[in-house]
A and B are shown apart, each in its own frame.
Chain A
Amino acid sequence: MKKILVWDLPVRLGHWLMVGGFALAWATGDSEKWRLVHVFAGSTVMAVAAYRLLWGVVGSRTARFAEFVRGPGQAFAYLESLLRARPPHYAGHNPAAGLAIVLLLGLALASGASGWLTYQEIGGEWLEEFHEVLTGTMLGVVGVHLLGVLVGSLAHRENLVWAMVTGRKLGAPEEAIRGQRFLAALTLLAWTAAAAWWLAR
């Protein structure tokens, strides 16, 4: 095994845009002074999640849902294997990470939509409460995801956070993806900027 490219640029850029957007939205959620920043940050998370749905169908092999989405059974079996001596190694997303991605994308879209409808005063009081429950749940899933990344990094002696920066992980040469997909990354940036600007108007 050697270092190969497994995460293309849209995957990594989208990941860190969601991290930044969610952190900023969480930090500004209770403030009226930062209300516009909150709406813009939340809209960014929602726009990236929407793009990721498309990328999960037409993107690089390791980015496709069909490649890494497994049932909860396999996800928990993988988590359990992390606690034992030799967990199976995945060049791409492991089954637990796949479950985290599905949950986080769903929660990002649902909390983004409920927040936006609340901001536009379309939803009622209950939708605002629901938005808070969804974002709280999302923070919980983020916590579990971070714990999984830490344990996975230790178990495989591989810095998974850095892998999400460089896109490179240990794997067999034939598991590598072909390229960074620069054009799709540019499209992601343009789409996110346009969608977030439109939503936060």
Chain B
Amino acid sequence: MKKPVLLFLLAVTSTAWSAAPRDLAEAYAAEASRQAPGFKASPQRGAEFYAKRFAVSDKMPACSACHTDSPARPGQHAVTGKAIKPLAPRAEAARFSDPAKVEKWFRRNCTEVLGRECSAAEKADFVSFVAEGL
């Protein structure tokens, strides 16, 4: 019972604080620089990561399989066909404002598309690309 309660509190408090995407990218970069000193988030690397075909899942080989080639455009679920709101905060303001939600979807989508969890460095690059563009 402890974990759901904790997640719930995390979700409630983080929504109230509503961190900016920039803060989130910086938090991931700070985490990454603990493992690799001098790490700086790179939108270029984020863009390459976003477009890369990991080909672990046949239905969802890459981020762009559902989110299209541009994170600013509306996407479409590769299996259900349901519409997905744009990932980029400049197109959809609520994106990357809730750290708990971002963590949840990194965990779920990375596991499925990459076959493993994403590193803090990958998350930092990804958020800086999606939030700020190239």
Contact = CB atoms under 8 A, between A and B. Distances in A.
A35 interface: yes
Contact of A32 (B8, B15, B112): B112
B105 to A, nearest CB: 10
A33 B60 contact: yes
B4 A133 contact: yes
B59 A129 contact: no
B59 A33 contact: yes
A129 B11 CA distance: 9
Contacts of B98: 125
B111 interface: yes
Contact of B79 (A30, A32, A121, A133): A32
Interface of B: 4, 7-8, 11, 15, 57, 59-60, 66, 77-80, 82, 98, 101, 108-109, 111-112
Interface of A: 30-36, 121, 125, 129, 132-133, 136
23 contacts: A30-B108, A31-B108, A32-B66, A32-B77, A32-B78, A32-B79, A32-B109, A32-B112, A33-B57, A33-B59, A33-B112, A34-B79, A35-B79, A35-B80, A36-B80, A121-B82, A125-B11, A125-B98, A125-B101, A129-B7, A133-B4, A133-B8, A136-B4
